[in-house]
Structure 1
């Protein structure tokens, strides 16, 4: 029975990937061509619905504390897995900011590019500055952006330093920022982390073996852009560390100094 369930989930996920490819390559461009700016809401709805369907297939159960603040245009979170993106993308329309390597992932990279993800090339100052300007422009247009200021994933047992330069667009746009703490529980605590040299497809197959995935999502109080990007990075990081600690599952959490 368990193997049958795994095969069913695998087929369902494969079907969702095919549907996603069709959506970003055909449906969404057609809507933009026919409706222009009026297509934005429909395209957002397609992306959110896709993420929610994947959550249901994977039995990704979100345990939410707090709530998203509509006034916060930039969302920052600690980063553990590609599942973070699915979970946060299911909460409402948003654009993600990701490392350049994500664009090369099989299937997910294509989908990420198709929905307008902004990619940051680490170590490329000029490209990073250009992306920062694009982020600021999107924020000024009222878009909701999500980024992971650690710049990489962890196993969830620590919160790395937040890179202040990634939060600079919030100051350029005068946008408020909301921190979100993510924590996997149960069997997913060991299986969900996508770190180091992990490859997407083998990791996905391991995820499909899980009967359920429990993810705790804690929305922290919104903060203004503040006087300095490094201060903003430290404040939001401290909020996430405190939220994880308050979850009673982070005893012994290793926190790296800013």
Structure 2
């Protein structure tokens, strides 16, 4: 019975990816040609609905603490798995910033390109500068960007250094920065990390075998405008590390976090315990 359910969910996931490919190849470009004014809102609604549907099929249960800042232009998080992107994508419409290798992933790369993800090519200063300019322009226009400043995934046992240059657009645009800490719980803690030479399809099948995927999202207090890029990188990393590893907590360099009520998010992503 368990195997049948896994394959049933696998068929549903395959169907969702097929719908996603159809949306970015035909539906979203068509909407942009029909109505430039409202096309962006419609496209964002499609992406948000797709992320939420995939999370339901995967039985991804989010426990959210803290409070998302509507004014935060740049959201940063520690990075464990490709699931991080879909989970955070259920919360609000984001423009993602990712390493260029993601653009070459089968299926996921095509979807990422289709929804307007910005890519950074490592070791290419000119291309990185162009992406930085695009980020700054979007932030000044009020867009919400999401990036993973570690530049790679980890097993969730540590938070790597945050690259300060990725925060320069927020500094130049005067945008608020909010850090989000991600932590997988239960069986997912050992299976969710997408690291080393993991391939997407086998990893997806392992996720489908789980009865549910438990993920904690903690929204840290937004950092004040006016900090330099290196200060933003250090402060946001410290906020995440302090929440993930409370035994290692040190005095905070910024204002104290305000404890907010938690939410259990499953299905409609707004349920309270």
TM-score (norm 1): 0.94
Q: Corresponding residue for 1:165?
A: 165
Q: Corresponding residue for 2:56?
A: 56
* TM superposition outliers: structure 1 runs of 4+ over 6 Å: none
Q: Corresponding residue for 1:153?
A: 153
Cα shift at 1:242: 1.1
Structure 1 portions without partners, runs of 5+:
254-258
1:28-50 CA deviation, whole Å, 9 max, x = no partner? Answer: 11100001131111110000000
1:220-249 CA deviation, whole Å, 9 max, x = no partner? Answer: 000124332111100000000111124xxx
Cα shift at 1:68: 1.1
1:130-161 CA deviation, whole Å, 9 max, x = no partner? Answer: 10000011111111000000000000000000
1:68-121 CA deviation, whole Å, 9 max, x = no partner? Answer: 100101000000000000000010111100011111111111000000000111
Q: Corresponding residue for 1:6?
A: 6
State whether structure 2 residue 132 is matched by structure 1 residue 139: no
Cα pair 1:225 1:232 within 8 Å, conserved:
no
Cα shift at 1:252: 7.9
Spell out the pairing of 1:1-258 with structure 2 (5 A cutoff): 1-246=1-246
Structure 2 portions without partners, runs of 5+:
250-273
Pair 1:220–1:198, CA change in 2 (3 A) = same
Cα pair 2:242 2:248 within 8 Å, conserved:
no
RMSD: 1.2
Count of residue pairs brought into register by the alignment: 249
CA distance in structure 2 between the partners assigned to 1:36 and 1:86 by the alignment: 26
Cα pair 1:103 1:112 within 8 Å, conserved:
yes
TM-score (norm 2): 0.89
1:147-188 CA deviation, whole Å, 9 max, x = no partner? Answer: 000000000000000000001100111100000000000000
Secondary structure (helix, strand or coil) at the match of 2:93 reads coil
Cα pair 1:183 1:216 within 8 Å, conserved:
yes
